[in-house]
Amino acid sequence: MITAIVLAAGASQRMGATKALLPFRGTTFLGAILDALLAVGLAKRVVVLGADADKILSGIDLSGVEVLRNPDPRSGPIESIRIALRALFNHPVEASLVWHVDRPHVSLASVQALVDRFRQGGAAIVIPSYQGQRGHPVVFGREVFQELLDAPDGEGARAVVRADPSRIALVPVDDPAVVDDIDTPEAYQELLRREDAV
């Protein structure tokens, strides 16, 4: 089983609004991601929330989703990953796809390609790439879960990715969203303009 971990504990300081709740494709950033995960068959979904947890929970129906809270989001995404992995550790999970909430526009085709590549075997970490640049979301196999739990705060998951390049599979995708953070009002408005133009 491949699970999904959605990281939504950040303070959204640069955006000035809760990113998880921003309107997008008839739902919200978080809602769009959760729908996409279901569409590619990842029914086991874990969402890690931070200081805006109550606001998000009152704004989105998260039934069928395991909701966890990160009491110290300032420690960065790695702490949210750790919290989710601890909750999953005793379950029959072969991998987790980690998706940041500020990339709701990653295509279904890209996510499916990552899942398919992991299931082919031979890679502990599967990363999308666009025009040679690595992006997100990323699939981490169970064999690196303990390394993620032990990763230093300063480097986080990057330390695990850099530890052994031979265990990484890069999946080229024709999808700029995998390298496109939506973390400012300007970036959000540009995203909406692009969506309207499609």
- The predicted-structure confidence for 95-116, as pLDDT tens digits, reads as follows 999 999 999 999 999 999 999 9
Q: How far apart are CA 96 and CA 149, in angstroms?
A: 13
Residue 198 has pLDDT above 80, yes or no: no
* Max Cα-Cα span within the chain: 45
Q: What is the pLDDT of residue 18?
A: 92
The neighbour count for residue 50, using CB atoms within 10 Å, is: 22
Strand partners, 133: 130
Query: pLDDT for 39-89, tens place per residue?
Result: 999 999 999 999 899 999 998 989 899 999 999 877 889 999 999 999 998
Q: What is the pLDDT of residue 122?
A: 94
Q: Does residue 105 contact residue 182 with C-beta atoms inside 8 Å?
A: yes
Domains of the chain: 2-197 (3.90.550.10)
Q: How far apart are CA 177 and CA 117, in angstroms?
A: 19
Q: How far apart are CA 166 and CA 143, in angstroms?
A: 14
Q: Residue 197 corresponds to which tokens in the numbers above?
A: 């133009």
